[in-house]
Amino acid sequence: MEFQSKRAILSIMENATAATGGDSRRRLSASIEAICKRRFRRNSKGGGRPDMVKPFNIINFPTGDKNSNCCCSKFQIVKIILFILLLATLFTIIYSLEVYHHSLSHSSSRWIWRRQDSRYVSDLDINWDDVTKTLESVQEGRTIGVLNFNSNEIQRWRELAKTKENEDEENVVVLDLDYADKNVTWDALYPEWIDEEQETEVPVCPDLPKIKVPTRRLDLIVVKLPCRKEGNWSRDVGRLHLQLAAATVAASAKGFFRGHVLFVSRCFPIPNLFRCKDLVSRRGDVWLYKPNLDTLRDKLQLPIGSCELSLPLGIKERPSLGNPKREAYATILHSAHVYVCGAIAAAQSIRQSGSTRDLVILVDDNISGYHRSGLEAAGWQIRTIQRIRNPKAEKDAYNEWNYSKFRLWQLTDYDKIIFIDADLLILRNIDFLFSMPEISATGNNGTLFNSGVMVIEPCNCTFELLMEHINEIESYNGGDQGYLNEVFTWWHRIPKHMNFLKHFWVGDEDDVRRKKTELFGAEPPILYVLHYLGMKPWLCYRDYDCNFNSDIFVEFATDIAHRRWWMVHDAMPKV
């Protein structure tokens, strides 16, 4: 029955079409056009309610008639455009909200999900009880910036950041730091030699990616540091990069606000970047600092390594801004009186250079009263110390007691010390070095500094740090210089003219030897400090460098430098 009804309807439609022919199309087109015109007139006169745009009913399918492209089709185009704009606006709003939330709490999800760089990986299992107890020292809010933690650890930080007052807030910001390039090695940061005079090139340090400092204030910055005890952990590019990044974020604080920095690491942080005097609390592998931001900002202005001079040649010498009464030159004598003459001449040279800073000498009980009186007459203030034995030295060896130099860090009545070996002369005033941070020194060989002239900042806790690891740390040369180089790997290069070695290398060409000889005897002096290696002048003849007498010591031989030492000696007042 239903089938017959459908056939009847189709038959009626076919008859109607045959009867009207093409007129039906014209009438349909005309009727559409009339409707459009009536709508337009009604809307333009304001007599009727304008057609409402229905978002899901604005696209009319084409009728197949060429004449249907009237004003109605124009309105269809406008409706389509409006619909697209509406969708785009909604999408933009939704996406912006997602980006804001992402940047607030997951700004560095790459740090979590991207492939990890082995230089930055720490396999340390965090003791969260130690973390919780350490955080009791943080009285401020709990907005935390986290760096170098995995996703599970970050979730734990989120739980620790919650309080009753901010239970529903996101108080953890994942800090964004790109890895350093693979070609940035420790040797690249601390090259053995750089062109200090810029004769052929301008030394430039490699780039380390900068951390993106969040606009939101952080009460606490937490960083997980790698520490490969089986390797050269203190010379680790990733470890240095993470600590410099943490310092950058901490130093960005505005006003008088000082946040905390917490490290999770088996190994101690860089002691002259995050100073032990700023250490608030330590529990196991958790280290909490409240750094002095002015000091931190000054240190962040330094080159990242010894790849550039921290005090370039040719610039005006900057005066120290510290209290001169809290600054001193210091040296040390222990075990024997052989260097007493050298220390007396060194004191004389400092005074001849125009410096009025205190002169402090550390001596042990092996230095006799007779020699002490000579040292006092030269201007040294004598401090008696107990020697510190090098546990890795053989009995009666030259280096058995040279760890006594660590006592310098106990001179806490001074803020800055310029340590000088007793076998050198100050030819020009170097008081400006008091403006430099710990450790500032000249390069020695490889990535190492020479401790013959160095700027240090006395602090009892630094002394304790040095003593704490005395049985653990291996000195490359068995002496104090090697030990200090293992602790203070982040050191700052000063020009070699400020600790110029009396030494002709085997590979020195004739023009290099000639230039060194001219520097030794230049008047007025070009060198600031002349360091006497080999046999010492006071153990030789007055008019002849006895290093010439030995095939082993001949590389240290020069009569011109030898003669200069005796000139300083002879200028001393007679007592």
Average pLDDT rounded to a whole number, residues 119-131: 96
Out of 40-44, 71-75, 520-524, 525-529, least confident range: 40-44
- DSSP line for 35-97: HHHHHHHHHHHT-SPPPPP-TTS--PPP-S-GGG-SHHHHHHHHHHHHHHHHHHHHHHHHHHH
pLDDT score at 166: 63
410/332 Cα distance (integer angstroms): 13
Cα–Cα distance, 224 to 111 (Å, whole number)? 13
Band (pLDDT 50/70/90 cuts) for residue 72 is: low
pLDDT at 90: 80
Average pLDDT on 397-411 reads 95
Distances (CA, A) of 426 to 324, 332, 343, 435, 557: 18, 16, 11, 18, 19
Question: SS3 sequence, 505-529?
Answer: CCCCCHHHHHHHHHHHHCCCCCCCE
Alpha-carbon gap, residue 275 to 272, rounded angstroms: 5
Superfamily of domain 324-494 in CATH is Spore Coat Polysaccharide Biosynthesis Protein SpsA; Chain A (3.90.550.10)
For residues 502-519, average pLDDT = 93
Hey, where are the domains in the chain? 26-105, 112-300, 324-494, 500-570
Asked if pLDDT for residue 330 goes beyond 90, the answer is yes
Q: Which one, of 34, 110, 126, lies nearest residue 72 by Cα?
A: 34
pLDDT at residue number 114: 56
Whether the pLDDT of residue 16 is over 50: the answer is no
Q: Which two tokens stand for residue 439?
A: 């450790």
What would the pLDDT profile of 145-165 be if each residue is shown by its tens digit?
999 999 999 999 999 988 656
Residue of 474, 298, 483, 472 lying closest to 406 (CA atoms): 483
Mind listing the pLDDT tens digit for each residue in 219-250?
999 999 999 877 688 999 999 999 999 999 99
What are the tokens at 58?
């604005």
Choose the weakest-confidence range: 7-21, 93-107, 403-417, 559-573: 7-21
pLDDT at 30 (0 to 100):
43
